[in-house]
Structure 1
């Protein structure tokens, strides 16, 4: 019976020791935090750039740019007609 208790106690000590070794130190937490923030920032940058490119190439943006260009050309023509006469 003592052997079973000794083995159970030894297993408990080994399990506790293994869990204690897996916990990172404060220094490791800060190093991980820094890398996670850097990774988050680059991911956010990539996603933002992709979104802006998608918006820029969308049909709505293209039609809007064309409409403004047409309106600007019409306005230039009107001004040229008005001031040349």
Structure 2
């Protein structure tokens, strides 16, 4: 099953242009670098929905918490190897 995982955007690598821009995200104690090519207006502190290494949309903190709760209830966090924060 394909999942969009909510994550907090911690920082942005400002050295690249908008298309190659990347950012550091964190979710459930895990940190990753993702592409921000689709979100030129995202900024540190935003919550984003991430799939396959690409941030797809900016979401609210409440939306992120709700999605994590749904993933936790469905057991998807276990299947994906993510901690249930």
With the length of structure 2 as denominator, give the TM-score of the two structures. Answer: 0.25
Higher normalized helix content (fraction of residues): 1
**Higher strand proportion:** 2
> Which entry has the higher C-alpha Rg, 1 or 2?
1
